[in-house]
Chain A
Amino acid sequence: MALNKTDHDTFRHYLLGGLAGEDLEAFEKRLLTDDEVFEELLAAEDDLVDEYAGGQLSKNERDEFEKHFLSTPERQHDLDFARTLQQFIKQKTTQEKYWREVPASQAYLPRVAAAVLIISVIAALAYFYFRTPLRIIAITLAPTVITRSEAPRATEVNLREADLLEVFLRLPEGFTPAANYRAELQNELGKTKTVSVTSQDSQSVAVQIPANELTRGRYILKLIRIDADGTERSVSGSYLFIVND
């Protein structure tokens, strides 16, 4: 039996404790006997939880939701999941906005959450120290927490004369250093690859990326910590930079 808008309204009433008596009995019987209705109800639950987590319910609906819907531990877990999902989607959407819209900026931002721009040319030092013609450009990045309310700033780098880009990823404040790390580089097309971690200390992790692997555009570096037992977890924040040439 095809479901219509009245059915969807009924789902909502049911979930918010608004059905009673014969209406409730009729609805519960449909749940038991109609596969489509049952599955639609479960999907309607997801929508309701998402709306509550997103602050989109009216005051009355919110009251009813808290009084009726959140009455079991299972539904509390559903709410936790919905909140985490919304956070994830927001960050992903804002990251995509970064790919599309963020203008390049050379402004130095003093805030902890902003990217710090330090460009130093060490080609001569590298030549005399390593006796190789390798030209390295090094930058230091601080982790950026991408939010919807504020466009993220990215460090710009010019690689025209460079063989190698060395990026020092500053660890978040209060961060407990890990045994090891690995880093992933994501480009504007969403392609991700692992990049070499060359050194680490309590304050930062260094990665090296051959300059010929970087084309003009925006990049995000994500750092993953590897603990002594082999467990991997993402380090909070993203490291953003733009290759100009």
Chain B
Amino acid sequence: MKKDWVLTQEALDGLFDWLSQDRQQAALEYEKIRRRLIRIFIGRKCYVAEELADETINRVTVKVTNLTEYQGDKALYFYAVANNVYREWLREPTKTDCKPPMFLVVNASDPSGEQLRFECLDRCLRELPEDSRDLFLEYHREEKQAKVKHRLRLAAEYGIAVNALRIRAHRIRIQLKQCVINCLEQMPVH
């Protein structure tokens, strides 16, 4: 792999031109593909998912001048390159990051960390618009079988399909997670 190759502005421009004639659309497409490549590498248990996604993009960028005649979904071209990147990475003798950890402590908890997260979540929920907060809290209210019926009822109340409700809750959750991260970073360290 060409570890010494750097993505220049000129090269990035070339990639964007290949993705779309509209520069804004191209930027959106780039971000979308990058995000999904990261998710795919995470799904393959790679700790360095971002690095592998960037390597994939770099390689496609290098080839872009030869891809003017390419037909088909461009995202799938990235996928093919990603597979090569993944296979090469697994073959590296010193590589361990793509293998599952031998031991993972999943139940360890830091009581002071939990309390800080709780306080930050409380604060972040208050900062949400009221309708988003209500939807989010209602969505997570029940457990097990009661949860399924509750969400169906909630979706009906909002006049949307259950999967649309699920996605709305997910988007609010992303906001909250980032807010909690920002809040924790501002917390004083004792």
B36 with A46: CB separation less than 8 A? no
Closest beta carbon of chain B to A190's beta carbon, Å: 11
Is B169 in the interface zone, CB < 8 Å from A? yes
The interface bits of chain A over 67-94 (1 if a CB of B lies within 8 angstroms of the residue's CB, else 0) are: 1101111110111110111111100110
Report chain B residues within 8 Å CB of A14.
Answer: 43
B118 with A231: CB separation less than 8 A? no
Report chain A residues within 8 Å CB of B42.
Answer: 71-72, 74-75
Q: A40-B163, A46-B173 are in contact. Are A88 and B118 (CB under 8 A)?
A: yes
Is B101 in the interface zone, CB < 8 Å from A? yes
A71 with B40: CB separation less than 8 A? no
Q: Say which residue of B73, B109, B169 sits within 8 Å of A46 (CB atoms).
A: B169
Q: A38-B39, A54-B143 are in contact. Are A29 and B79 (CB under 8 A)?
A: yes
Complex: A37 Cα to B163 Cα, angstroms: 11
A39 with B100: CB separation less than 8 A? no
Q: Say which residue of B37, B43, B118, B137 sits within 8 Å of A87 (CB atoms).
A: B118
Is A166 in the interface zone, CB < 8 Å from B? no
Report chain B residues within 8 Å CB of A46.
Answer: 169-170, 173
Is A234 in the interface zone, CB < 8 Å from B? yes
Complex: A87 Cα to B141 Cα, angstroms: 11
Complex: A88 Cα to B117 Cα, angstroms: 10
Q: A39-B167, A89-B137 are in contact. Are A71 and B45 (CB under 8 A)?
A: yes
Most buried by B among A28, A40, A74, A229: A28
For chain A, the count of residues having a C-beta within 8 Å of the partner chain is: 50
Q: A33-B73, A68-B45, A89-B140 are in contact. Are A41 and B39 (CB under 8 A)?
A: yes
Report chain A residues within 8 Å CB of B32.
Answer: 35
Is A66 in the interface zone, CB < 8 Å from B? yes
Closest beta carbon of chain A to B140's beta carbon, Å: 5
Q: A32-B33, A32-B40, A89-B137 are in contact. Are A3 and B114 (CB under 8 A)?
A: no
Report chain A residues within 8 Å CB of B46.
Answer: 72
Where the two chains meet, the residues of B that have a C-beta atom closer than 8 Å to any C-beta of A are 32-33, 36-37, 39-40, 42-43, 45-47, 49, 73, 75-76, 78-79, 100-101, 104, 106, 109, 113-115, 117-119, 121-122, 125, 137, 140-141, 143-144, 163, 166-167, 169-170, 173, 176-177, 180-181, 186-188
Instruction: Rank and list the top 3 A-B pairs by shortest CB-CB distance, nearest first.
Output: A43-B170, A71-B45, A84-B117
A-B contact pairs, 15 of them (CB 8 A): A14-B43, A31-B39, A31-B40, A32-B75, A56-B143, A71-B101, A72-B49, A78-B177, A80-B113, A80-B117, A85-B140, A92-B137, A93-B141, A229-B188, A233-B119
